[in-house]
Structure 1
């Protein structure tokens, strides 16, 4: 899985201010559809899908990271959105730690195996404490995108 196929700078935001899990999921829904022609109904359906998934159990991985995910009939290929929050929020993670790094995944409605493979790979990436530290040090959308996708030298600009 190449992150550059899932993520774009348009769907990457550094330094976001939200105060709740619900607002974070709303923001992620908007970002997931930011560079499409889909309207508000598609964005609302994605938000509702993320909420339903969270009711099944938190997608908070621990150590300040969450991977909210859902499916959509409005897309043909998987896509992701990445956010680094300015202030961590409660997310009901297994370790009870607040979340400041969120990567939301949206996959086509009938994409079962691919959905699971992508989630497993993303969870593996976020187990890398060095990567998470570097993501938290980013100061721009472009830097956050480059750090996540590995398209930089690994050192944030001072």
Structure 2
């Protein structure tokens, strides 16, 4: 397995920013929440304890990506570990990218009236311009962090 330090670094930075947003929102910050739209925005206006707990948990779950990327920097003696890390990193990259892409497609379809979502125009704009591409960029960072010899 060959690692790409630049994409690992960018993936770590992306992941920390991504997790940091969750921690900020879990502490009550509201900057950027309206851009998410829908139920998440509505729940954030008057959050109950379980919602805040879930937001904290998502932040910690996101940080697992940093651990995954840092594990790529270790020279493992057992090739099974390196191979597993390779495939897990590739799959995570693909899933992050597909999540953003599929959301981008479905939100775009709602713009054209083909699908109906509970997103106002503000959230729709930010989801298409920032959030969904942000997911896809993260997927690219993870996917390109490793390659076969």
Which range, TM-score by smaller chain? under 0.3
Larger Rg: 2
TM-score by length of 1: 0.23
Question: Normalized against structure 2, the TM-score is what?
Answer: 0.24
Higher relative contact order (CA 8 A, sep 6+): 2
